[in-house]
Amino acid sequence: MPEHVNAILRANNLSHHPLIIHADDFGETQQITLGICEAIEAGIVTSASIMANMPATDFALHRARSLEDRASFGVHLTLCEGRPLTLAPTLMDAQGNFCSKRQLFLRSISGRLRVTEIEAEIGAQLARVADAGVHVSHLDGHKHLHQLPVVCNAVAHVAGRYGVERVRLAAMHRWAGYATPSSAVRELLAVHAARVFRNARLRFPRRLIDIRACMALAGQMEKWIRLARSTGIVEIFCHPGTALADQEKPGSCARSAELEFLLSPQMRDLLAASDSRLVNYWSV
């Protein structure tokens, strides 16, 4: 294990700010999964969530079982990419794939989603991971769509049925920092979802931070400390991957750059400056 990670872990007993560093999209492709594995093996990523309907799901499930002593693993509920594991017409397009993120949002707020279909699909995704022998720590959502109206109720119901006690709440609590309307909508949705999750006795980290905010603040320690320090557990979410992952599936995230940053001395400095103690979702 790299010496700078050893230093972080040695300091954990003296630190007062529990921090989860979580990687989404485990299982989306092999190269994405390999990048996340590298970050887990380096001791910097402490949690990941598995996509149950992707081409590399089986590969990811195998790797997750071998890494459960180093990280927690949740289910990255997927409702806008790939094909559903169940017959769910209100979630699908004409080709039988999941509808787009935008269409799912519109169907959710207009009452065109069937809760029974959502619950069946969430249950099928959760069961695929659990039946493979992975201990499911929590549920979160691809593109944070688990917070949508109706969907969050289904998440809470299925979590209770399977004995899952933790969930992600995509709440950043930084109104002035939202650069796009979609981020503001996400925060508004989190207000309602929080009520639903609390009523179902689901626990979640206090604040969610995008790794890209950490990258932007790498040279601004005072701002970073204000962002990272919070009452309760903070979660940093990221999307690491190999350079080949970026080539095979370009997207909004520069996966190899995120992986490089996670493993860098800059990340070490940020963790030390905020007096952070690395934990995983089992600590929530």
Helical (H) or strand (E) element with 50: strand 47-50
54: nearest Cα among 112, 125, 119: 125
Rounded to an integer, what distance in angstroms lies between the CA atom of residue 279 and that of residue 284? 9
Handedness of CA 276, 277, 281, 284 (dihedral sign): negative
Cβ neighbour number for residue 197 with a 10 Å cutoff: 25
Rounded to an integer, what distance in angstroms lies between the CA atom of residue 147 and that of residue 186? 8
What pLDDT sits at residue 174?
A: 61
Q: Which residues of 244-270 are buried (b: 16+ CB within 10 A; e: fewer)?
A: bbbeeeeeebbbbbbbbbbbeebbbeb
114: nearest Cα among 142, 89, 148, 83: 89
140: nearest Cα among 129, 132, 260: 129
pTM for this entry:
0.91
What pLDDT sits at residue 2?
A: 42
Domains belonging to the chain, first-starting first, are: 3-283 (3.20.20.370)
Dump the DSSP string for 128-142.
Answer: HHHHTT--EEEEEEG
Secondary structure (3-state) at 278: strand
Per-residue pLDDT tens listing for the chain (284 residues): 344 444 444 444 445 789 999 999 999 999 999 999 999 999 999 999 999 999 999 999 999 999 999 999 999 999 999 999 999 999 999 999 999 999 999 999 999 999 999 999 999 999 999 999 999 999 999 999 999 999 999 999 999 999 999 999 998 776 444 567 777 888 889 999 999 999 999 999 999 999 998 898 877 877 777 777 777 899 999 999 999 999 998 888 899 999 999 999 999 888 888 888 999 999 99
Residue type for 69, please?
A: D
